[in-house]
Amino acid sequence: MKFFIDTGMVEEIKEAAKWGIIDGVTTNPSLIAKTGRSQADVIKEICSIIDGPISAEVIATDTEGMLSEAMEIAKWHDNVVIKLPLTEEGIAACAKLSEQGVKTNVTLCFSPNQALLAAKAGATYISPFIGRLDDAGHDGMALIEEIRTIYDNFGFTTEILAASIRNSTHVRDAAIVGSDVITAPYGVLKALYKHPLTDKGLAAFLADHEKANK
Ligand code: E4P
């Protein structure tokens, strides 16, 4: 299972990179807006920190506009993945980019049929938004499970990228149901390390070692 960090903040990415377990980065227009910088600047800097897939989202809503933005974004770095919204226009752009060998991440997926469309269009990644579904009273993790079944039924190679992850339970459950990738904010990833029994156990080991070596 791959771990992506979901942020535009380069300081968070630099910290997370030290852990040695981050495979890639996802951003979106809201995350980029929080940085107060241009998308091009942020994405280029991220590409210099993490050697893996870095998703950058298009703003155009028509297929031609998405394709010309994608061509521009793709020039920034070989690791850039073009993030496209799950609309008719986005799926058409995805199909064209897939034909050209450009990596894509189809975002804002909220149903199994939408995920099926993305796979048909040859998407590299599909991003189902777990947290937003949970917030709306639906079961986000059930969607990941359904997509896993559909993709396995037909051997689709599109990777399931569980997104809109809000807590460590989401990470655990996404791993259990077979998501290929999770993308999570810095705080959620950091929380994965924590267990009170680890802290307690380590304190006891260190105290015993100290006593034995006086
Ligand atoms: C994924 O690619 C998105 O950037 C992100 O996970 C959305 O998460 P949110 O629902 O917390 O905004």
Q: 73-100: b or e for each residue (b if 16 or more CB lie within 10 Å)?
A: bbebeebbbbbbbbbebbbbbbbbbbee
Q: Whose CA is nearest to atom 10 of ligand 1?
A: 164
CA-wise closest residue to 4 among 181, 188, 138? 181
**pTM of the full predicted structure?**
0.97
In 3D, which of 11, 10, 85, 100 has the Cα closest to residue 47? 10
* Ligand 1 atom closest to Cα of residue 55: 2
Task: Supply the residue whose CA is at minimum distance from atom 8 of ligand 1.
Answer: 164
What separation in Å is there between the alpha carbon of 126 and the centre of ligand 1? 13
Task: Give me the residue spans of the domains in the chain.
Answer: 2-212
Q: How far is the CA of 167 from the centre of ligand 1 (A)?
A: 12
How many whole angstroms from 154 Cα to the centroid of ligand 1? 27
2-212: CATH number:
3.20.20.70
Cα angle 73, 77, 80 (rounded to 5 degrees) comes to 65
Task: Name the residue at shortest CA distance from atom 5 of ligand 1.
Answer: 164
* Residues with Cβ within 8 Å of residue 142, at least 6 apart in sequence: none
The burial of 144, by beta-carbon neighbours within 10 Å (0-12 exposed, 13-18 middle, 19 or more buried), is given as buried
Q: In angstroms, what is the span from residue 30 Cα to ligand 1's centroid?
A: 9
The one-digit pLDDT tens for each residue of the chain (214 residues) are 999 999 999 999 999 999 999 999 999 999 999 999 999 999 999 999 999 999 999 999 999 999 999 999 999 999 999 999 999 999 999 999 999 999 999 999 999 999 999 999 999 999 999 999 999 999 999 999 999 999 999 999 999 999 999 999 999 999 999 999 999 999 999 999 999 999 999 999 999 999 999 8
> Active-site residues: which are they?
83
Q: Would you list the DSSP string of 46-115?
A: HHHH--S-EEEE----SHHHHHHHHHHHHTT-TTEEEEEESSHHHHHHHHHHHHTT--EEEEEE-SHHHH
Site residues for ligand 1, CB cut-off 6 Å: 6, 26, 28, 31, 107, 127, 129, 131-132, 163-164, 183
Ligand 1 atom closest to Cα of 31?
Answer: 4
Tell me which residue has its CA closest to atom 9 in ligand 1.
164
Whose tokens are 């241009």? That residue is 38
